[in-house]
Amino acid sequence: MQALQTLNGLLEHIKSVEAEVVGLTKEGHLQFMKFIEKNSLHLDDEILEVMQYQDIIAQQLGATMEAIEAMQGHLNDKEVRLDEMDDNVTSILERAREKHSAFGGKTHHQNDDGVEFF
């Protein structure tokens, strides 16, 4: 079970880094908004798109943090069997992939017009 504890430690580190990045993204957004307000600047479509990208980053990191927490719950279960863990991990992965594709936006690709939301 030492390998599972090591995996749990790695997941905890990743979750911590992601939480830090979410905080920095939010702080950057706040500072940017203060700058715009202070200088009475007009927000054009490009700036609004950049702000939407920041929101997408925070949403996606939040979703991966949820997946990590779910995985950690299974790693901390002292009664877990490896075959049960495989089923649980598969379920967690499926939910994480669903959240990734359903966050409501899309980033630039060859034929895209930018970010779209519901």
pLDDT digits 0-9 by tens, 23-74: 999 999 999 999 999 999 988 898 889 888 888 888 889 889 998 998 888 7
Amino acid at 113: D
Q: Give residue 54's pLDDT.
A: 86
Which band of pLDDT confidence, cut at 50, 70 and 90, is reported for residue 114?
A: low
**Is 76 among the domain residues?**
yes
**Is 2 among the domain residues?**
no
Give the global pTM.
Answer: 0.68
Give yes or no for a contact between 99 and 61, defined as CB atoms under 8 angstroms apart: no
**Is 117 among the domain residues?**
no
Domain containing 23 equals 7-101
**Is 107 among the domain residues?**
no
Q: What digits encode the pLDDT tens for the residues 85-101?
A: 777 778 888 888 888 78
State how many domains the chain has. Answer: 1
What 3-state DSSP class applies to 42? Answer: coil
